[in-house]
Amino acid sequence: MSKKINFQFLISYFGLIPYVLTFLDKYYFLVVEEEDLLNFVTYYSLIIIVFIGSINWNLKNNPPTHIVIYGFLPSLFAVIIIILSLLNINILIIFILIILLLLTQLFFDYIILFANETNKQAFYYLRLPLTILIILFLLLISL
């Protein structure tokens, strides 16, 4: 019997394609200016962080206040990082902040959203590996 493909997981992993293409361009193709690549990766990473935060919102129900605030915080931190970027703060510092934000978000996602779940498949097969891969790409691209 064939196993059904979870298209949400598949599409989520497709989100790594821009990181792969950026990595390949930086080290092999050399088509795009490095500063443009780093800016793209910065803003793309912020989109992912904000998206992860927004999926915690359940607009059909009245979620607890801490969940609403937790879903909003990634957007706030993304704005702060954008401002730092526009102020020409060193890109390595910005990448470190993004990595710390991803790790913090991963930690609190587990504590707040997954700790009491019996099925942690989404965390172990999607959230954790994707976060680790994004962080590895950020590290490789920032070198």
* CB contact at 8 A, 99 and 135: yes
Residue 27 lies in a domain: yes
Mean pLDDT, rounded, for 95-110: 94
Residue 39: closest CA among 50, 52, 26: 26
105 inside domain? yes
| 52, part of any domain | yes
pLDDT of residue 18: 95
Higher pLDDT, 92 or 119: 92
The full length of the chain comes to 143
Range of the domain at 106: 15-142
Q: What does the pLDDT read at residue 129? A: 94
Report the amino acid identity of residue 26: K
7: tokens are 């298209």
pTM: predicted TM-score of the whole model, two decimal places:
0.86
pLDDT over 90 at 87, yes or no? yes
Q: Which of 2-11, 104-113, 134-143 has the lowest mean pLDDT?
A: 2-11
pLDDT in tens, 33-54: 999 999 999 999 999 999 888 8
Domain membership flag for residue 97: yes
Confidence band for 58, pLDDT divided at 50, 70 and 90: low
* pLDDT at residue 118, as a whole number: 83
Question: Which helix (H) or strand (E) segment is 40 a member of?
Answer: helix 34-54
Tokens of 115: 């700790």
CB 43 within 8 A of CB 86: no
**What's the number of domains the chain is made of?**
1
Per-residue pLDDT band at 1 (split at 50, 70, 90): very low
DSSP annotation string for 12-34? HHHTTHHHHHHHHIIIII--S-H
Is residue 6 one of the residues assigned to a domain? no
Q: Are 22 and 40 in contact (CB under 8 A)?
A: yes
